[in-house]
Copies of this chain bind each other. A is one copy, B any other.
């Protein structure tokens, strides 16, 4: 196992009605709350009015309209509000995008320059307001980690900001809040969770046995409950298992003792930066192509292990087992209703080279990924699913 520092201070309140704790817990920090959310779904499903009921004695300032790929302009607006109103706590009610924007706002509130500076240079982050979250879609794991992905609409960059100060102080995870989630979003969220685990699983370190086995446990959970949550949106067992799996999928548990750079996420980030595609949809299209592209004599043992331990493939031949695992992964995404081609989502070959170059430039694809990829490799992977 590689050396690892693990420190996840987020307080998780998991279960029905846990939102009621916000009155006491936010109250420890102050009275002025910046309520950050996305579209109108939290008004339809009642969470919005529940927040006002629980926080009736607080001063709430609203920042609605956070985009699916949260934009720098929203962060700028939120940071200004924090400064102008003397906000004590940022409360994100939504999914990864809302939480990510809230984290960036929380640290930008203490920074005099443009918030984008903090993305480009994390050493400029010196303080952050406490971020509380009420999770409404399981996908990014942002409710239990210190990362956020922000899109700069001017430069077309989609980059990560990551700092220990950005762990949410507390996250309310009530599985019933996802009962009203459309099937498409449930499915895309499940693919995102699955991909987070894969990114950490497909790394060269074979000595982190415990971490590999834990990862397989979580992958199996996605396989069991993803389709079930899509089919029966109010299945509490499916929602709750997916919800907790989504949180631990990206709170460093599955990278403990491993490490290394990610592969499919940086490529997908370009798709959604250029085309505003749903992140999980892009991952579903790209993942099987990436698997086929990097499968080789050097990687076949790990792919075969994946196939046997996650998919119960019993083929003794490593290459055959690996191919079966990739096939079953592809079939799983299809079962979730995901498209499998870029053309299915309106992406042609006109900007592939540009996106491939950006993916390599803005990530560690060519330096620290499981199989190092240059721009021509990335373009080739995208061409496999045109």
Contacts and interface: CB of A to CB of B under 8 A. Distances in A.
A328 to B, nearest CB: 18
Nearest to A208: B241
B12 A5 contact: yes
Interface stretch (A33-41, A152-160, A220-228, A362-370): A220-228
Interface in A1-21: 1-16, 18
Q: How many copies does the complex hold?
A: 2
Interface residues on A, range: 35 or more
Contact of A7 (B6, B10, B220): B10
A218 B9 CA distance: 23
A10 B10 CA distance: 11
B3 A210 contact: no
B209 A221 contact: yes
A365 to B, nearest CB: 26
A257 interface: yes
Contacts of A13: 5
Nearest to A206: B237
A14 to B, nearest CB: 5
Contacts of A11: 5-7
Contacts of A210: 217-218, 221, 241, 244-245, 248
A151 interface: no
A192 interface: no
Nearest to A174: B3
A14 B10 contact: no
A240 B257 CA distance: 9
A225 B214 CA distance: 15
Given A15-B4, A221-B213, A207 B237 contact: yes
A5 B237 CA distance: 17
Contact of A2 (B9, B15, B216): B15
Contacts of A240: 1, 207, 257
Contacts of A236: 1, 207
Contact of A3 (B2, B14, B221): B14
Contact of A218 (B5, B7, B214, B241): B214
A183 B105 CA distance: 53
Nearest to A12: B6
A9 B170 CA distance: 12
A207 to B, nearest CB: 5
Contact of A15 (B3, B18, B245): B3
A131 B47 CA distance: 40
Given A1-B240, A8-B8, A209-B237, 13 more contacts: A1-B14, A3-B16, A5-B13, A6-B11, A7-B12, A9-B9, A208-B241, A209-B225, A209-B241, A210-B218, A213-B216, A214-B214, A216-B217
Minimum-distance CB pairs A-B, first 3: A3-B15, A213-B217, A1-B240
13 contacts: A1-B244, A3-B14, A4-B12, A5-B13, A7-B11, A8-B8, A14-B256, A207-B237, A210-B244, A213-B217, A244-B256, A244-B257, A248-B253
Interface of A: 1-16, 18, 175, 207-211, 213-214, 216-218, 220-221, 224-225, 236-237, 240-241, 244-245, 248, 253, 256-257
